[in-house]
Structure 1
Amino acid sequence: MKKVLLVELSVFERMTPLASGYLQAYAMTDPVIRSEYRFERYTTVAKTPRADVIRDLVGSTADVYAFSCYVWNMGLVKAAVDAIRQARPHAQIILGGPQVMSQALRYLSKTDERTVICNGEGEITFTQYLLALTDSGSRLHEVNGLSFYCDGELVTTPKQPRISNLDDVPSPFLTGIFDSDYSIAILETNRGCPYHCGFCFWGAATNDRVHRFDEQRVRDEIKWIAKNEILFLFIADANWGMLSRDVDISQHITNCASDHGAPNVVYFSAAKNKPHAVTKITGIFQDANLIASQPVSLQTLEPSSLDLISRSNIKLSAFAEIQEDLREKQISSYVELIWPLPGETLDSFKRGIGTLCENEAQTVIAYPHLLLNNTPIYHNAEKMGIVSRPAGGGAAEARVVIGTKEASEEDFIEGMYYFYAFHALHNTRSLRTVSRYLVRQSGIQYQDIFSAFAEFLRQQGEDDPILAYMERSIRDADYYDVNNYGLFIHTVVHEHRELFNDHVRRFVQGQDWWGDDKVRALFEIDLLNRPYMYSNTPMDVHAEGFQALHFLGRGPRSYTVQVPPEYMADLADAVQIRTTPADGVFTVEHKRLQYPFMPTQSRDHSGSYCHGMIEKVGNIMPFWQPASPPDAYRPVNESSDEKGLYPHVEI
């Protein structure tokens, strides 16, 4: 029998290779293939050393190699294909996935007629390709959906029709293809996307139509995932919550988790025009402790940009209503933006983030704009003035956009510094009470505060580790890495927390508005309220005394403070208060849902953890609650050097 090796080089470790599973499951429905071929899978993360991957693939001595190709692994795939071709000149190679579709001139060689590209949905084309290889004569011309070279000429066969009945593809979960040796499961309940966003290939590839897997099959797959104790579940649908059944399926996930103890966490891409359905789904997951943050994918608030990228967002008024609803239900949310998109200027980008803050956005993440093959922006890059640069190192083939017709490269860089400053200041709530007061009472705009803080950080010395992180990330395009923003939070809220606290203190003291006595008082609230990513980060010790608030003492992970009546309304507006004590004496309890920092874990682990925590920052914000009984805290000795200080907590 001939050996087929299905190759997936993924972002995450121990993740179900769903694309490979589908290909194998469908191919094995054909009796000829069952008699002629045996299947093996090779899965590893794309960060695996190139030499190790090549050694493993060449050493597998497969007759057919099938690669799933994405922006994050294409550099590694190309190196592996070259090595396989040199070591095994007679091996057949098929490339599939969004990175190679309709890109034959880019990825195929006239001198290599044994490498082909699949130009669409893979199951039928891959099966017919394998059947064509069983014939002594070349029958690749009869297989729809392929590109290949023959006698020096490029051949592209007609498109393969999409699979309308997805249940023709057997489930790799339910047919024994997957075992239980995974930590992350990918679940697909439908295929397709009705939108044609300029930066995305999903809608263009599926021609608007959304096809569904049978609901009972989906439910059985979820039960299999739960029974096999797979901890993390990624729902791969483009718009979870778009279909009415998604709410019931979400409830089924929580029921299975309750019965079997897994999954523990659920991730999904929310339907952007069904916000209330998504809010309901998020509530279901939160009640089951499976998720605690609702994603809101706005991408941009600039109308001209939305027109250029063919994207219609939810109305801002609806967004504000949803944010208030989420706040009342104590459900975190995070807004996803992309910088820079065509039509977006530096000013509109800054202004958009300010608008989101005015509308109670809890966390905002501005992801890099990846120039993906085959997208509308890719096809109109010159017209839109797109300037891009490589990112991701040798394993990836990513290009990040660093300029458009509306935003120069200098604008892009300034926008990145602005976002890092915003990320550190707003997403960590480090100046929340002060900034809300300034915006509402003094006419200052949020974007002015973040711009000023960005400029302040850029003025720090070259040996400043926080500035160095920002500069390195922007210079080397490290922000492409999914863990980069999380590691920045790790840097400012844990690793260099004391330095960052000093930066914020010196920043506010240098502003014109620092002369306002109320600003000084509210800043003391912000000092107490700044969250901790980890349960064992040493508690802050501030050199300056408290002037407006009365610092009374501390507990293992808490502070006790008395807030004068004139600041109570601002406090209630900005922090999480369970009950307001008559005497104004609060315990600020920082023991929430944090995990301890573990030095033995990798930096990637810390980055991934902190990114996930900042997306649901409400879970780690302290509770302000009445300090009862009064002797529950240790008073500060008024005559000691500790007066007005945060006593250091030993871990």
Structure 2
Amino acid sequence: MKILLTTLNSKFIHSSLALKYLYNNIYDIADVSVREYTINENLQDIFCDIMSENYDLIAFSTYIWNVEHILKLCCDIKLANPYTKLLFGGPEVSFESIDFMKRNDVVDYIIRDEGEIVFRKFIRAYEDKSFENIESLTYRKNEEIIENVDAKPIENLGMIRGAYDIFDENSIKDKIVYYETSRGCCYNCSYCLSSVTKSVRFFPYEKVISDLEKLVNLGAKQIKFVDRTFNYDKKRTIDLIKYLCTLDNGSINFHFEITAHIMQDDLLDALKNVRQGLFQFEIGVQSTNKQTIKAVNRIDNFDELSKKVRKIKSFGNIHQHLDLIAGLPYENLDSFKHSFNDVMALEPDNLQLGFLKMLKGSPINSVVGQFAIKYRNYAPYEVISTQFLSYKDIFLLKDVESVLEEYYNSMTFNYSMKFILSKIGNDYFSFFERFCKFKKENDYNRNLSRDDRFYLLFDYARSFLSDKNIYFFKELLRFDYLLMGRNRVIPEFLKNDTCKLNLQTKKDIIADIDFSKKFDINSEIKNINSAINIELFDIDIEKFDKENISEKKESYVVFNYFGAKNFRNIVNFYVY
């Protein structure tokens, strides 16, 4: 039997952790291949590539972002060859599997929840189709769909082969690599599928550190831990953090989902002096409305979370990504604005404004009627309205999300946004709401060019900033523009005629700077002019950068463009 394990990832830079686990746990008993695609590829091209081989069984890893694409693909596969058997697995089909198979007759088998052990049993039983005793399997038998009992969670995770025991080394270099040190969740948030599997189980510690060393040495760009609460076990977390520091090669980044309010002081102490960019934290807030938090069975302490987030912020070395969810019970528009302002006041590096998704199997489905939750009946099952938020409120929040992503989360406007937000008081939501209104009223379309996006922010800022502040803001906007990378031709509206740098001054500055010390540049590069740019500003860039103080002063700023297209998280400018 010839088997294909496949999926459609959301982006090319992503790779499937699930397929790696499945492959490593059946390769010794089956003729199996792995092929990964993305949802952005042409389905006809994917279909042709898959059908170029004569597979007996094709197994798909399905999620809310790819299931619709996969179903279309499977219809074509079945039309081309009705004898090809199709198996689905993953969170999108782990609940309501009988209904899913009734609606989609192209699906022959479903493996629910953890698949490593179940899939191996399934392969062994495939020849004689003796599936009766395989737990967590849903399958067709004649005209009937049979759903076997659920398997218990794998208690000893050391008994399964790891995702990175055998893998293509080329799939690691310069990629985002997903990894898990544990499974399960200690919390019961009703909107999350992790609440269904309550027990937290850990992979053997020695196995974890061995895998991580291997992945870093192979040149992974980022290792993204998918543990639901990475810092659940306090001692283990500190040990892992300290170990990861020993793997720092100057470019690796580790991303975690953490629960901030339970972070202990000794863990914070371990983070104080780590390299900037080594760690990245994702922290779920979801809402600061206490009634909302209680209604979704979430355990949180926003006051304590705020203290920890501010403490980490003071270190200046860790990117913090905070999350909010719109559409939760008891969160009307005014309440959500309050939650938004509470979180923005913490000055996160990224604020993700997400929308409630009614995932199959999540406990929140039981209160759909109680809270008049209306949502799309197809993936990703996103909320349309609730008892507390009208569909027009959702539209507004969608517009705010779009502007927030473009101007705050993109990290393209770091300095100009930092300045403008310091001038508006604490009502951050109203700033973005007014921005959306200004954009529509002034006919800015959705597909703006890079320069148009800069002009839009400038145009909006001058509609309410004083002349003095707009002058300072414009200089910072020019600074942000030049931070994007090499060969930037400054737009006319950003030019400052009083800040013209003559050629001799530029030569003198170049001659005076030891670039190998100021920047991570090989001192032997032949043409330093191609790697750097020098600009004159009317404001004290250094003081604003370090102390957030706005003062006028001539500043010569040297930008290092060597070897990097996007260096927003790296210090690549020097004030001369």
Query: TM class by shorter-chain length?
Result: 0.7 to 0.9
- Residue pair 1:3, 1:63 contacting (<8 A) in 2 also: yes
TM-superposition CA deviations, 1:576-624 (whole Å, max 9, x none): 237999x963527473789866xxxxxxxxxxx79xx5xx6xx57977x
Report the CA distance shift for 1:438/1:81 in structure 2 as closer, same or farther (over 3 A). closer
Mark the CA change 1:426 to 1:121 in structure 2 (over 3 Å): closer, same or farther.
closer
Q: In structure 1, which of residues 560, 579, 589 is the aligned counterpart of residue 537 of structure 2?
A: 560
Contact 1:539–1:557, Cα closer than 8 Å, also in 2: no
Contact conserved, 2:5 with 2:58, CA < 8 A, in 1? yes
What's 2:422 paired with? 436
Contact 1:535–1:595 (CA<8 Å) still a contact in 2? no
Deviation per residue, 1:543-590 (Å, 9 max, x gap): 8999xxxx6655745443367xxxx9xx96xx3237999x96352747
Q: Distance in 2 between matches of 1:383 and 1:50?
A: 40
Distance 1:51 1:57, change over 3 A: same
- Cα offset, 1:218, TM superposition: 0.9
Look up the match of 1:191: 183
Aligned equivalent of 1:635: none
User: Given the alignment of the two structures, is residue 59 of structure 1 paired with residue 52 of structure 2, yes or no?
Assistant: yes
Per-residue CA deviations over 1:199-247 (Å, capped at 9, x if unaligned) read 221221x2x1111111111111112212322333221211223233233
Classify 1:524/1:341 alpha carbon distance in 2 versus 1 (closer, same or farther; 3 Å). farther
- What SS is found at the alignment partner of 1:193? coil
Which residue type is aligned with residue 310 of structure 1? N
Q: Which amino acid aligns with 1:218?
A: V
**2:545 pairs with 1:576:** yes
Is the 1:192–1:211 Cα contact (8 Å) retained in structure 2? Answer: yes
Secondary structure, aligned partner of 2:87? strand
How far does the alpha carbon of each residue in 1:496-547 deviate from its partner, in whole angstroms, 9 at most, with x for none? Answer: 24422442244215xxxx4xxxxx434433332332351234446548999x
- The aligned residue for residue 203 of structure 1 is 195
| Letter of the structure 2 residue corresponding to residue 408 of structure 1 | S
The aligned residue for residue 600 of structure 1 is none
Aligned residue number for residue 304 of structure 1 = 291
User: Per-residue CA shift, 1:89-120, capped at 9, x if unaligned?
Assistant: 33333211000012223321499598111122
What is the DSSP-based 3-state SS (H/G/I as helix, E as strand, rest coil) of the residue aligned with 2:189? coil
Q: Does residue 234 of structure 2 align to residue 248 of structure 1? A: no
Tell me the distance in 2 between the aligned counterparts of 1:111 and 1:460: 47
User: Which secondary structure state, in structure 2, belongs to the residue aligned with residue 240 of structure 1?
Assistant: coil
Tell which has more relative contact order, 1 or 2 (C-alpha 8 A, sep 6+). Answer: 1
**1:411 aligned partner:** 393
Aligned residue in 1 for 2:322: 335
The alignment partner of 2:372 has SS state of coil
Q: Is the Cα contact below 8 Å between 1:184 and 1:234 reproduced in 2?
A: yes
Whether 1:290 and 2:278 are equivalent positions in the alignment is: yes
Taking a change above 3 Å as real, the CA distance of residues 559 and 66 of structure 1, as seen in their structure-2 partners, is same
Q: Supply the distance in 2 between the matched residues of 1:431 and 1:579 (Cα, whole angstroms).
A: 12
1:534 to 478, 481, 484: 484
Do the aligned residues in 2 keep the contact of 1:535 with 1:594 (CA within 8 Å)? Answer: no
Distance 1:257 1:8 in 2: 32
CA distance in structure 2 between the partners assigned to 1:57 and 1:557 by the alignment: 52
Alignment of 1:158-557 (within 5 A): 158-174=149-165, 176-182=166-172, 183-204=175-196, 206=197, 208-243=198-233, 244-258=235-249, 264-275=252-263, 287=275, 289-291=277-279, 293-320=280-307, 322-389=309-376, 397-423=379-405, 428=413, 429-430=415-416, 432-433=418-419, 435-439=421-425, 445-461=427-443, 464-465=444-445, 468-469=446-447, 494-508=450-464, 514=466, 520-530=467-477, 531-532=480-481, 534-536=484-486, 537-539=488-490, 541-542=492-493, 556-557=533-534
Q: Which residue of 2 aligns with 1:143?
A: 134
- Could you give the per-residue CA deviations for residues 38-64 of structure 1, whole angstroms, max 9, x where no partner exists? 111121122221112222223321122
Name the CA shift for 1:424/1:76 in 2 (closer, same or farther; >3 Å). Answer: closer
Counterpart residue identity of residue 156, structure 2: N
**Cα RMSD between the aligned structures?**
3.6
SS state of the match for residue 60, structure 1?
A: coil
The one-letter amino acid of 2:436's match is A
1:131 maps to which of 110, 114, 124:
124
Q: Distance in 2 between matches of 1:431 and 1:18?
A: 37
SS in structure 1 of the partner of residue 314 of structure 2: helix
In the alignment, the residues of structure 1 paired with residue 171 and residue 159 of structure 2 have an alpha-carbon distance, to the nearest angstrom, of: 26
- Superposed displacement of residue 460, structure 1: 1.1
Report the alpha carbon displacement of residue 69 of structure 1 after superposing the two structures with TM.
0.9
Cα contact 1:90–1:114 (8 A) shared by 2: no
CA contact (8 A) 2:261 2:302 kept: no
CA distance in 1, matches of 2:131, 2:146: 10
C-alpha distance in structure 2 between counterparts of 1:257 and 1:579, whole Å: 30
SS at match of 1:72: coil
1:340 and 1:14 mapped to 2: Cα distance?
Answer: 30
Give the Cα separation in 2 of the matches to 1:390 and 1:111.
15
Superposed CA offset, 1:422-469 (max 9, x none): 555655353544543552xxxx733343333332222112xx23xx34
Amino acid at match of 2:351: V
C-alpha separation between the residues in 2 aligned to 1:579 and 1:152? 70
CA contact (8 A) 2:293 2:299 kept: yes
Q: Is the 8 A contact 2:228 2:257 kept in 1?
A: yes
Shift of 1:298: 0.9
Question: Where does the alignment leave 5 or more consecutive residues of structure 1 unmatched?
Answer: 392-396, 470-490, 515-519, 598-608, 628-651
After the TM superposition, which of the residue ranges 184-193 and 149-158 deviates more from structure 2?
A: 149-158
- Is the Cα contact below 8 Å between 1:26 and 1:127 reproduced in 2? yes
DSSP 3-state at the match of 2:382: strand
Deviations 1:369-407 (A, max 9, x none): 33322212334333332223478xxxxx32322312100
Q: Judging changes above 3 Å, is the alpha-carbon distance between structure 1 residues 111 and 586 closer, same or farther for their aligned structure 2 residues?
A: closer
Q: Rate the CA distance shift 1:423–1:256 in 2: closer, same or farther, 3 A.
A: closer
Q: Report if the CA contact (8 A) 2:538-2:553 is conserved.
A: yes
Letter in 1 for 2:138: S
**1:558–1:325 CA distance, 2 compared to 1 (3 A):** farther
* Count of residue correspondences: 534
Q: Percent identity?
A: 17
In structure 1, distance between residues paired with 2:13 and 2:81: 28
**DSSP 3-state at the match of 2:88:** strand
* 1:10 CA drift (Å): 1.3
**Structure 2: which amino acid aligns with 1:290?**
L
Amino acid corresponding to residue 385 of structure 2 in structure 1: G
The CA deviation string for residues 306-353 of structure 1, in whole angstroms up to 9 with x for no partner, is 122222233235414532542343544232212233322111222222
Cα distance in 2 between the residues matched to 1:283 and 1:594: 29
Q: Give the TM-score of the pair, scaled to structure 2.
A: 0.81
3-state SS of paired residue (2:226): strand
Structure 1 position 156, deviation (Å): 1.3
Question: Residue 526 and residue 279 in structure 1: after superposition, are their counterparts in 2 closer, same or farther (change >3 A)?
Answer: farther
CA distance in 1, matches of 2:21, 2:405: 39
Normalised TM-score (structure 1): 0.73
Contact 2:89 2:110 in 1 (8 A): yes
